């Protein structure tokens, strides 16, 4: 195992970026990185070397992020604060997409865009614009890969409410990315 004194320089930036991308709060991200490295230091005897130190520390940080989001969800009663008004205007009365709300063409190979660091930065900026409940649902489900039941439990909401939060997150993120990342063009 490497010298713990070198951990902040060796792993601090990557752990911080991981935490920040999920928490969207630099101070909280810093605190969780500190807690992570202190926990790693105290339990260093249990590190078997089966994975890299960074992978091991990221696992510790991940658990701390879950705890943080769970605590935040409890304190803020997140399930009650999102009214969904921003989905207005996407659909016509007959239930079909409106011309202005319809999904735009994201280019020939949109999956390639997902691999770029710039797209990831645009996604994070769009995530910042979401309400906390909607953002946290998306972070737990799509960034952390938590199953729907575990997400609902972490956020303290019933599973049908989680589905609504995830739907709103996806609808708003794709709209935001169309405005900030993809050049708008007629859908068809």
Partner 1 sequence: MKLLPDCRDMSSRLSEARDSGRALTLGERLHLLMCAWCRRFRVQLDVLGLAAARAPEGGPSLSAEAKARIRRALGA
Q: Which spans of this chain sit near partner 1 (rule: CB under 8 A)?
A: 3-5, 7-9, 12-13, 15-18, 20-21, 26, 30, 33-34, 37-38, 41, 90-91, 94-97, 102-106, 110-111, 113-115, 117, 119-121, 123-124, 138-139, 141-143, 145, 148, 163, 166-167, 170-171, 173-174, 177, 187-188
Rounded to the nearest whole angstrom, what is the least distance from the CB of residue 144 to partner 1 in the complex?
9
DSSP state of 143: I
Measured from the CB of residue 46, what is the shortest distance to partner 1 in angstroms?
17
CB atoms within 10 A of CB 120: 13
Q: Which of 73, 175 has the CB closer to partner 1?
A: 175
Report the phi/psi class of residue 184: left, alpha or beta, with left for phi > 0 and alpha for psi in -120 to 50.
Answer: beta
Q: What are phi and psi of 54, to 5 degrees?
A: -65, -40
Give the Cα separation of 32 and 19 in Å (integer). Answer: 7
Least gap, CB of 74 to partner 1 (angstroms): 22
With respect to partner 1, which residue has the nearer C-beta, 75 or 114?
114
Query: Of 33 and 65, which has the nearer Cβ to partner 1?
Result: 33
DSSP 8-state symbol, 51: S
CA atoms of 118 and 143, how far apart (whole Å): 17
What size, in residues, is the chain? 188
Q: Other CB atoms closer than 10 Å to residue 176's CB: what's the count?
A: 18
Judged by beta carbon, residue 2 or residue 75, the one nearer partner 1 is 2
Rounded to a whole number of angstroms, the minimum distance from the CB of residue 66 to partner 1 is 16
């Amino acid at each position: 195992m490497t010298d713990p004194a070198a951990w902040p320089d060796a792993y601090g930036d990557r752990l911080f970026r991981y935490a920040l991308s999920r928490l969207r709060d630099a101070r909280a991200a810093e605190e969780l990185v500190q807690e992570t490295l202190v926990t790693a230091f105290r339990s260093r005897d249990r590190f078997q070397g089966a994975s890299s130190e960074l992978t091991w520390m990221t696992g510790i940080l991940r658990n701390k992020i879950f705890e943080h989001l769970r605590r935040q969800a409890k304190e803020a009663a997140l399930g009650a604060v999102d009214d969904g008004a921003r989905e207005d205007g996407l659909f016509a009365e007959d239930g079909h997409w409106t011309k202005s709300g319809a999904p735009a063409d994201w280019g020939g190979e949109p999956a390639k865009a997902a691999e770029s660091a710039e797209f990831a930065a645009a996604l994070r900026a769009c995530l910042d614009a979401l309400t906390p409940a909607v953002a946290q649902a998306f972070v737990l489900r799509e960034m952390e890969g938590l199953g729907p039941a575990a997400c609902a439990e972490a956020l303290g909401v019933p599973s049908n409410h989680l589905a609504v939060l995830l739907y709103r997150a996806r609808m708003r993120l794709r709209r935001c990315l169309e405005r900030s990342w993809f050049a708008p063009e007629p859908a068809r």
